[in-house]
Amino acid sequence: MADARLEAIARECRVQIIRMLAHAGSGHPGGSLSVIDLLTALFFGRMRYDPARPDLPDRDRLVLSKGHAVPALYAVMARAGYFPEASLTTLRKLGSPFQGHPDRTALAGIEAATGSLGQGLSMSLGMALGLKMAGSPARVYCILGDGEIQEGQVWEAAMAGPKLGQPRHPLDNLTVILDYNKIQLDDFVVRVLDLEPVLAKWQAFGWPVSEIDGHDFEQIGKALDQAEATRGAPSFVVAHTVKGKSVSFMEGNPEWHGKAPKPAEAVRAIREILGVAEAGWEAYLGKDPTTRAIVDELGALEGK
């Protein structure tokens, strides 16, 4: 039952991702759709936070190091009650708090500005060490992109992580998750700069590692349980995901790394996310006023 609840939330968040990107006319659907199940599992099955008190001292921290996938983070935060979902349509608009990359000065609840790739893990190490030294029970979760970990700073942080804070304050309050969707900006990761063997590399630096299907909530939950039970070192989780997950024309297609869907494409994407056959779409919309309103809203964007 818990997995069914998380799956339903993730579907709703996928719809919001497509909706806001269509309104913005720019952004990153592929990586947002690949990471959304991981974020859903964290926000609705794991993390300690209070939307009414985003600065709660002992809150768990989420650092989305692959900051271009921030539409996914906005979607889960809206669903969690940080702000209304209706406000998401201002994504990437001038003056909006929902910028194209996370901006902690613009939006309460964002823990780190991660517009430049490769920096989130270093920031996460610092957060985790500070929390440990302060005696806080809070945990830090850092999500990395696979193309992102080609950055040299990531490997410096990877080498440092298991050593920082030792022996009194080991960073076992830090869990790092790799959203391994196999595609980056220009092409498939293996063709640009192959990362393999990923697990062996992080193990060599002293990280306890695990490998999961990043769209399977049971596997995600078990990996997070294992990380919380680990003592003496931070944990690294390789989550195998699908770029553009749940939208057939986006899945596994590098073209959709950083291209927003047009309104008609967005409607098709939403239909596929909801699992509705084209022949039954109008009947479905007649019974679902929320989706009907979103589809009408997208229809109004045509020709603008």
Look at residue 2 and tell me whether its pLDDT is greater than 80: no
- Is residue 176's pLDDT more than 90? yes
Cα separation, 128 vs 67, whole angstroms: 19
List strand residue ranges (DSSP E) for 22-130, in order: 61-64
Taking Cα atoms as reference points, which of 110, 100, 103, 116 lies closest to residue 25?
Answer: 100
Domain extents in the chain: 2-261
For 119-153, what is each residue's pLDDT tens digit? 999 999 999 999 999 999 999 999 999 999 999 99
Average pLDDT for the chain: 97
Q: pLDDT at residue 236 above 70?
A: yes
What is the reported pLDDT for 106?
96
Mean of the pLDDT values across residues 245-269? 97
- pLDDT for 103 equals 96
**Residue 302: per-residue pLDDT:** 81
Strands (DSSP E) contained in 84-203 are: 140-145, 174-180
Its CATH architecture, for the domain 2-261, is 3-Layer(aba) Sandwich (3.40)
Check residue 304 and give its pLDDT.
Answer: 64
- Report residue 99 as tokens: 């910028």
Model pLDDT, residue 303? 67
The distance in angstroms from the start CA to the end CA of the chain is 43
User: What's the whole-number mean pLDDT along residues 11-28?
Assistant: 98
Nearest to 65 by CA among 106, 119, 127: 119
Percent of the chain whose predicted confidence (pLDDT) is above 90: 98
Q: In the predicted model, is pLDDT for residue 115 greater than 90?
A: no
- Pairing verdict, β 140-145 and 61-64: parallel
pLDDT of 30 > 90? The answer is yes
pLDDT at residue 157 tops 80: yes
Given a cut of 80, is residue 4 above it in pLDDT? yes
Is a pLDDT exceeding 90 seen at residue 247?
Answer: yes
Query: Residue 254 carries which DSSP code?
Result: G
